Structure formats: C-alpha cells, structure tokens
A and B are shown apart, each in its own frame.
Chain A
Amino acid sequence: MNLYQTYRTGGSPFALWLGAFLLMGSVFASPIQAQSQTDGSIYSRFGVGLRQNFSSSRSQAMGGGGLALPSSQYLNTSNPASYSDQYLTRFAGGLTYEKITASASGAESATLASGSLSGVNFGFPLKTNVTGIGVSFAPYSRVSYRVDVESAVDFDPELGSVSPYLTTFRGNGGLQNLSAGIGHRLNSNVFLGASVNFIFGILEEAQTSVFNSTEFTDRSVVGSTRLSGLSATAGFRYVVPNLPSSQGLVIAGTVHLPTTLKATRTRALVNKLDRDTLGTTLHGDVKLPFGFGFGVAYQPVAKWTLVGDVEFENWSSFESDLDFPGYSSSGNSNTTNRLRISAGTEFWPAARRPFATWSQRIAYRLGLYTEQSYISPLPDQKIGAFGVTGGISVPSLIPGTTIDFNLDVGQRGKSSNGLIQDRYVRFGLNLNFGERWFDRPPLG
C-alpha cells in the first residue's frame, strides 16, 4: 500500500446532497439566469448594479464585514490572507431571498421579491493552518428591478377597439466574481494572501410591451452589456501579540487593484425565441476603481467575537467608454466614492469546547452596517443604506458542518426629492460543509 496516497475520509451522502442543493440553488437563483425572479431595487439599475457583499455566512450575519475573521470555521473570501487558517476542506454556499417594499412620496408602494445566489466557495489547506487555497464564486454586483406601467391603446380607431397593455421596464443580470486565492501564515502573527478575480457578467435592461391578448405580439427591446476582466486582491492579517490568553485581537486589511473590463453592448428586439439585433454592437473599456478595506476582530473571551470593518472604493475615478445609467462617458456622472462601515458580534457558547452539547454549539450573531452607494440616479443626491443583521448557526450531525439562517433588515434611499425608499428584508439560507479531505493515512 502506498503510504502517501491521498484519500477522502468523508464522502457522506450529506455532502452529495449539499452539492445538489447548491447546484439547484445556482440554477434557480443566479442572476445570470434569464428565467430567475429578478425583481429588486430600482437602484440596481445604475452603474454596473448594486454592489454585493457576501464573503461568508458568518460575516453576512455580522453586518457584512469580517476582514479580520479567520477561515477556520467559514471560508472568509473577503480577505485571502485568511485562507491560511484552514484545517478542513470547506464547501459552502447559500441563497438569499429578498423582499423589498418601495415607496415614493405621493405614490402607492410596490412590493418586489426575488431569490438569488449569495455565493459558493470552496477551500482547503495545503498545509494545515499554514497555507490554504480558496476559490469562490459570488455576485460582484446585481441588477434586478422591475417597473410596470399599465396603459391602454386604441388599436383599431375605426371600430373604437381598445386593448389594455402593460409596459414593463426590467433589469437583470450583474457582474459575478470568480476568485481563486492563496493565504500563507508567515509566522504566528502575520498572515498574507492574494487572489485573482475574474469579473464577468451581463447587465441587461429590457422594455416589454405585454398585451392581454394573443392577437397582439409582445415584444421586448433588450439592451445587453457583456463585461469581463481580471482583477487582483491582496490582504493581510496581523494577530496582535502579548494579549492575555483568553483574549484575541486581529487587525486586517485588503487592497483591491483597479481593473479594466472589456465591454460589448448590443441592443435587440426579442419576441419569445426570436432575437433581432438592432443597430451596431458597441465595444469599450470599463475601468473599475481600486478599493481597500480595514477590519478588526476582537475576542474578549472565547465565546464572544466582535468585528468592525471599513471598506472604501474609489468610484469617483470610475471611467467607461460606454454610458451607464447614472454615468455618462461624455462627462456628467453621478458617481461618488463608496464607503461601507459595519460592525457585528458573535456569541458561540461552545467556543473551544468541541464536546459541548448540540444546543451549546449554536452560534448567535448580530450586526449593523451603513453604506453610501457609489452611484446615484440624481446628481445632487447620494444614496445611503443602513441595516441590522442577525443570524443563527445550527450545527449538523457532521462535525464542521453548519446550517445558517441569516436575516438582514434595512432601508436604502429616501422617498423624497424624486427618489425611492427601499425597505428590505433579506433572508439567507447557507450551508457550510467541512470535512477532512486529501489527508494521508497514518503510517502502518
């Protein structure tokens, strides 16, 4: 017997079932699927869509930050430096259901709901708790909005025949981030990491006239912008030494390098499966700005973890050869720097107690965040959002595997000055699966 052959110690049916669940979820919820329910915020129409912020189920429930968190329990894709903290092979993913109530002054409110993929990730240690690899797929931005306008048309003036119809303005799609990174522990205090990010996706806007009669032909005018390009992220974590043994303090930071996406824009007239291209195809570059983040994690005692994060993206330097809603390549743009501040806490009674009871191994999380969007519909208005998050993490029968339920309640924008106020509730269901893979069997 080859003493150095690798083998899987796990491989339970649960792992297969988890994979099937996430695969189904990806098909059902991915924004790049034309058939998915993509009714969300009107603010997602602007720029390259609403920026998304999912790095792990844990951070999602703690305000969306967590740059300083390790990857020991959850693969922390926000900071590649954390990939070094792995002793299990991890496969995780989740879905998010979002319900938005949009309101504007003097108008009846609208309710929109959608489901989407939060993200999937996969990580494994090359050398336990020293060097690790992480691969993730998550939305970078998301476009999902829908505005319906009811009208009627006198389609046969001679006979006075009137038909109602619905004009639907719809946007869907978004940019996805497929990232692969490596993290390494230089010494007991310093961790470094880097990742390569392939950012790609389609931003689609459509106007459809829908008639309530088969005698009419419903047609859509669809504008699609396809983008793709490579980016890179570098990060560090620094464990502050000389603290009492019951305490821990980690400082972390990341830098996202600017990148240029290649863009191709087409416009088409669509009727069911027929698609006629209109006009000429446009090509251009879209330059995403650099950004950086800074985070702190503090454990006063093992059961409690506190995090605080600040993320900044320099969108005032955003440039594009193609116009986007809210951005004009000829000069008039409503972009501003994006700033996101978040804080959160986790209470995990079973910390450092691997043989605690099932109920003690449930983790409870709370967080809050505020964010200034990088783009606004109107030049003299800035779009802000704030929210409160929470979640519980329920352990499963398989060690290292949890099922997480997260909640995010918040609001974005305002209902005055011609803007819309979104009040949203997001429910996240996440599976976090960990097993020991690729281990060598013991000698003998």
Chain B
Amino acid sequence: MPNHFLIRNRLFVLLFSFIFLSACDDPSQIGLDLVDAQAGETDVVTLPPSFVGPSEFGDISGGTNTAGAFRTLFGKVVDPVSGSFSMTGYVDFVNSSNVTSAFRAETVSFADLELNVDYAYGDTLTPVTIDIYEIAADWLSTDARSDTFLVAQTLVTSSTLNPTKGVVNIALPSAWVATNNSILRSTSFVDVFHGFAFRATQGNAVLGVHFSGSSLRASSVPGDTVNFSMSKILSSSSFANASETPSYTTLRDGAAETLALRFDVEGPDFGEAAFHRVIIRLNTENTDALYPANFAHSSPTRVGLRAVAVDNSTRLNLVVAELSSDGTLSFDSSILSNVIQSANLGNSGLDRFELYFPVESSTVGALAFKKGLPATFGPRAVITYTSLN
C-alpha cells in the first residue's frame, strides 16, 4: 500500500503535468470557415491630412540655467523661406555670492556685458546694430513662449556686432553705471534689477547668446571685477507671413506659431477600427538654392509631434523624430497609434496634431515641408488598422 507521502507527491506531479500539458498547442486555421469575424481584415491605408496650416502657439523660448531654452536670440532677417522676422532677446542676471566687501564699499566705476555669441543666422557679412533696453519689471522665463512681450522702454545703449560666433563685450554707459551704482552693489540686486532687452535696428542676421560664458560685469576697484551671471533668458519673435509657395509650407523655429495637421480618423473611411500602427510622415523640400551666398541658414534636425485637444489648451507631446538624410520625417510611436485609437472611438477629444521644435533647439531655422497629396510626398499618415464594422 503506498504511503501518504508518496500519494501526495505523485498528485502534485500530476497537477503540474496538467499545467504543462495544457500549453502543448499546435493550433492552425482549421475551423476558420466556422468562425465569424469579430472584425475585418487588417489593412493599410495612406491618409492625407484634411487640414495643414499654421496654428498659433508660441515656441518655448524662455529658460533658466537649468531648464528650458539655453540661448537668447536677437536680430532681424529677411529670409527667403521663413519670410521677414525679428527677434528680441531678454536676459537677466544674478549677483555673485562671492562679492568682496571692497566692491560693495566703493563706487562702481565700470560695467559691461560679456556675451558669448554661439549662434548666427542670416547675412554673415552685414553687421547687426542693436539697442539695449532695461526691462521695467520682474518677469518669468520658465515655459515662457516666443509670443511673450516684456516692457523695456529705457534705452541704455546701442552697439554694432559682427554676425559671427565669439565673445563680445559691450560697455555700458557711465551714466547708466552711475545711476545703478548702488543697485549693482546692493545685496537686493536680484529684486531691483530686471535685466536687459536686445532689439536689432539694423542688419540682416539673428545672433544667439548662450547662458554659458555670458555675464554682466562690474568693477569698483581696479583689478577687482564682479561677474553677474545670466539667470534667465527669453526670446520673443515677430514674424511676417512666411513665403508660402504651392509646393511647401514652413515650420519656423522660434516663431509664435506651429504647423498643424488634422487627420479624419473618425470619418467614413474607418468607422470604428483597431489601430495597430500609425506613421505620420512628411518630406522636406531642399531650399538651399533659395538662399544667397554668405547667408547662414542651418535648420533643426529634430521635430516633435504633439496632440492638441479640442479645448485648444490641452497638449500632449507624443514623439520626437529625427530628420533622415533624404529629408524625410517619420513619427512612429505606439503612443501615436493609441491617440489615434482613442480619437477614432471618440474618447480623446483630439482636434489636431502640431509639429514643434523641441525646446533644446533654440534657433530660428526653418523646415519647408512638401505640400500636396501622399503621392507627391505631401504630409500623410500610414495607418495599419483592422476595421471593426
């Protein structure tokens, strides 16, 4: 007679054999004629957008030395692709923690702006003249967009810069220094001083000043210069209409508008459908030939896609794509297919998609996207789906 222990163990072996054997399947399509499809066959469709055009929403151009944009842009350009535009740069400074007592005790005798110009866009042969204004009130840079306007009416000085990369120094007038002597030496400098605005008056270029290596410098004792490092920046833009052509439409970095795309995924083409993969693809036009010689015009290579709800305020960044060597931009993400899926079922309130340049771009370059139907490489969505009707 088997003992209790043996019976118990043999039964456990049998139990696990059940589980193991249950997995031994080799199914096939036998019986296919006896099942009713719950859905149609999986198919692929290339869908043109029902709308392509500008959407007013400023690029994020504000930043601090830890987040957001890292460069302030100023200048004005007549661009053969982007059209005429101007940029106003705003900067603010913070006083250094290692200010000497000698500096605070003496009268400030000299001050200048040391600017690390690391970006130049436009005519590199024509100097850029800028007016420097003092900003009137405190302002926020975090998540500030390029359509932000700051009041800066007190002209401090003007300066002419060569549109090339490098460190430039702009001496501040002695009258401004004298007026701000106590402020520069005050421990409440941050609260009282609100920074400068750079506006171009002449030239055909936009310059970019990087956080790093840029500061307000002041000295009260010969040989003892105090650096007020840059604490926040902002670039605001003023664009005229881009030079739209029948063959392309532009997405301009730094502008107060984006490029919107709308796809009818709820329409009669689909009904209710299961979306397995969605690729939104655009092709760029090579516009190099439109630019004159000595016109620096580098373009961003990374573009983001976000979903915008019908309330026109809810935005969800979906995916960032890299421009391929042949100028194709493909947004391909499961998040994208999920957004389209929700839209198809009427669950998301999706209104449109927007293309945007990621905040780390901090340029004024532009991409020209081909217009037209998918057959002519216009914007399109390549959708793998299964109809549920």
Contact = CB atoms under 8 A, between A and B. Distances in A.
Contact of A102 (B8, B31, B384): B31
Contacts of B18: 28-29, 95, 97, 115, 429
A167 B40 CA distance: 11
Q: How large is the interface on A (under 10, 10 to 19, 20 to 34, 35 or more residues)?
A: 35 or more
Nearest to B342: A276
B332 A403 contact: no
B30 interface: yes
A155 B28 contact: no
Contacts of B30: 42, 102-104, 107-110, 147, 420
B32 A115 contact: no
A278 B388 contact: yes
A157 interface: yes
B382 A115 contact: no
A216 B25 contact: no
Interface stretch (A56-64, A201-209, A249-257): A201-209
B275 A39 contact: no
A207 B38 contact: yes
Contacts of B41: 151, 167
Mostly, the B contact residues are mixed
A217 B277 contact: yes
Nearest to A171: B35
Given A205-B38, A216-B276, A112 B347 contact: no
A113 B24 contact: yes
B338 interface: yes
Nearest to B32: A147
B276 A112 contact: no
Contact of B25 (A21, A39, A169): A39
A207 B39 contact: yes
B154 to A, nearest CB: 56
A21 B11 contact: yes
A403 B337 CA distance: 53
A223 B33 contact: no
B345 interface: yes
Contacts of B84: none
A146 B32 CA distance: 9
Contact of A219 (B31, B43, B44, B276): B276
Contact of A151 (B19, B42, B334, B345): B42
Given A206-B38, A397-B4, A219 B386 contact: yes
B34 interface: yes
A205 B35 CA distance: 10
B167 interface: no
Contacts of B342: 276
B27 A146 contact: yes
Interface in B310-359: 332, 334, 337-338, 341-342, 345, 347
A52 interface: no
A379 interface: no
Interface in A137-159: 145-151, 153-158
Interface in A110-142: 110-115
B32 A418 contact: no
A17 interface: yes
Contacts of A97: 18, 21-22
Interface in A1-51: 14, 17, 21, 24-25, 28-29, 37, 39, 42, 45
B366 interface: no
Contact of B275 (A113, A214, A217, A420): A217
B28 A156 contact: no
A396 interface: yes
Given A42-B31, A147-B31, A223-B38, A14 B382 contact: no
A110 B384 contact: no
A153 B43 contact: yes
Contacts, number: 183
Q: How large is the interface on B (under 10, 10 to 19, 20 to 34, 35 or more residues)?
A: 35 or more
Contacts of A157: 44, 46, 382
Contacts of A285: none
A28 B4 CA distance: 25
Contacts of A380: none
A218 B276 contact: yes
Contacts of B34: 42, 45, 377, 418-420
Contacts of B46: 157
Contact of A110 (B24, B28, B272, B334): B28
A29 B26 CA distance: 19
B184 interface: no
A211 interface: yes
A217 B338 contact: yes
B7 interface: yes
Contacts of B332: 215
Given A113-B22, A209-B42, A211-B276, A358 B27 contact: no
Given A45-B35, A147-B27, A377-B34, A215 B44 contact: no
A313 to B, nearest CB: 22
Contacts of B175: none
Contacts of A14: 4
B31 A37 contact: no
B1 A276 contact: no
Nearest to A326: B34
A201 B4 CA distance: 38
A269 B33 contact: no
Contacts of B39: 207, 221
A167 B15 contact: no
Contacts of A25: 15
Given A109-B30, A154-B44, A165-B42, A429 B22 contact: no
Nearest to A218: B276
A274 to B, nearest CB: 8
Given A169-B35, A209-B276, 12 more contacts: A39-B27, A97-B21, A113-B25, A147-B35, A150-B29, A219-B341, A221-B39, A221-B386, A223-B38, A267-B38, A269-B341, A420-B30
13 contacts: A37-B25, A42-B30, A102-B30, A107-B29, A109-B30, A157-B46, A169-B38, A217-B275, A219-B341, A269-B272, A377-B34, A397-B1, A397-B7
Interface of B: 1, 3-4, 7-8, 11, 14-15, 18-19, 21-39, 41-44, 46, 272, 274-277, 279, 281, 332, 334, 337-338, 341-342, 345, 347, 382, 384, 386, 388
Nearest 5 A-B pairs (CB), nearest first? A42-B31, A207-B38, A110-B28, A37-B22, A219-B274
